[in-house]
Amino acid sequence: MTTIKHLLAEKGHEVFSIRPEATVFDAIKEMSDRDIGSLIVMEDGKPVGIVTERLYAREIVLKGRASPSTLVRDVMTTKVIYAKNDQSVEQCMAIMANSRIRHLPVISDGAVIGVVSIGDLVRSVIKDHEFTIDQLTDYISS
């Protein structure tokens, strides 16, 4: 069973964030520049929200708002659903599926230490399955 701690050890702990006072345009530009789908909204070193591409589509585009004049704090999701280091990849997949989210900050001792996406979790499950298949194949062949 792969834990989030193991996944982050391979993936890395880099966290991309933005301030709530930034504009949505700045957030979307940052996501585009980094080729990512979300930013953690941080204030005084603590996570206060999350802003995503999906949120941009729903809160800016569909509502006819202007991203250069709308602040992140006005559209961010403030209920931050997160994972802990000791949770399994499968547990986090269930959290994401049940919450209908694609990005999950990882928090330890009140600090964001990483972010995992649904893609990261799926890749981890595939890797674990491939390892199991290889082990079974070797066992059968021996």
Q: Per-residue pLDDT averaged across 12-32, rounded? A: 97
pLDDT tens column, 39-95: 999 999 899 999 999 999 999 999 999 999 999 999 999 999 999 999 999 999 999
Q: Is 100 left (phi over 0), alpha (psi -120 to 50) or beta?
A: left
- Which among 129, 87, 89 has a CA at the least distance from the CA of 137? 129
Q: What percent of the chain has pLDDT over 70?
A: 100
- Stated as kind and residue range, the H or E segment containing 108 is strand 103-108
Predicted pLDDT at 137: 84
Residue 15 and residue 116 in contact, taking contact as beta carbons nearer than 8 Å: no
The predicted model scores a pTM of 0.85
The residue that leads in pLDDT, 59 or 128, is: 59
Which domains are seen in the chain, by residue range? 4-141 (3.10.580.10)
Give the tens place of pLDDT for each residue, 110-122: 899 999 999 999 9
DSSP 55: H
